[in-house]
Amino acid sequence: MPHTRRVQTLQRRTVAQRAANPAHRHHEALSEMGDEDLMQQFQMGTVEAFDILVSRYKDPLTNYIYRFLGDMKECEDLLQETFLRVYRNRHSYRRIAKFSTWLYTIAGNLARSEYRKRKRRRLYSIQSVNRDDEEYEVEIPDETFAPDTHTESTFQDHYIQEALKQIPEEFREVVVLRDVQQLAYEEIAEITGLPMGTVKSRINRGRTKLQSLLKDVYTPGQES
């Protein structure tokens, strides 16, 4: 019992010391700020505000880019490039836009650009094989699903990702933004630069295509 009281006393003392630490109090104050306030702090020179934004959006952006491209290595590269552009272009951000919209616009532009490059590379490889009638080693990206490989949801995640890769880019992006990232229609319209009606139409068509592809994976009552 004396040992337990001693541990509890040390824990209380540690908490009190942290609370009295100005750096800790500053970090706590930053952590409670909204995204737009953090960007303002970052623009004023507080790099710690940028670190907090990175920690907030790293996982959601990873999920978004991976679902779009289906390649974890490319996803990691584009994630780094997205945050690098946020860092470099911080002074171009204006509070009239939500930070998340600005951030997803940067990531979306990079992902779309990479997707088009990959399509051109794939087309060139196919044309080369057909024209010269020779065998070429065509690089196939590793599109296995890396995160949470031992969880029960991995089986379904694999089929969802495979289905996403089979629907056209214009449907895939908006479905991921809406159903995976759970962004509002208005925000998706800003990120993609599409009219609201087009966004809603593409989401509905994308969902229909996904449901058709996944009909054998999910039994009735599984989908919410």
pLDDT reported for residue 155: 55
Domain 31-143 has CATH 3.30.540.10: no
Joined tokens for residue 102: 């600005």
pTM: 0.66
pLDDT reported for residue 169: 86
pLDDT reported for residue 53: 96
Q: What is the mean pLDDT of the chain?
A: 77
pLDDT reported for residue 62: 93
The domain segmentation of the chain, as residue ranges, is: 31-143, 147-216
pLDDT reported for residue 16: 55
CATH of domain 147-216: 1.10.10.10
pLDDT reported for residue 75: 92
pLDDT reported for residue 144: 38
Question: Mean pLDDT, consecutive 10-residue segments, the chain of 224 residues?
Answer: 56 55 80 93 94 94 90 91 95 91 94 79 42 37 39 61 86 90 92 93 91 68 43
pLDDT reported for residue 135: 36
Q: What percent of the chain has pLDDT over 90?
A: 44
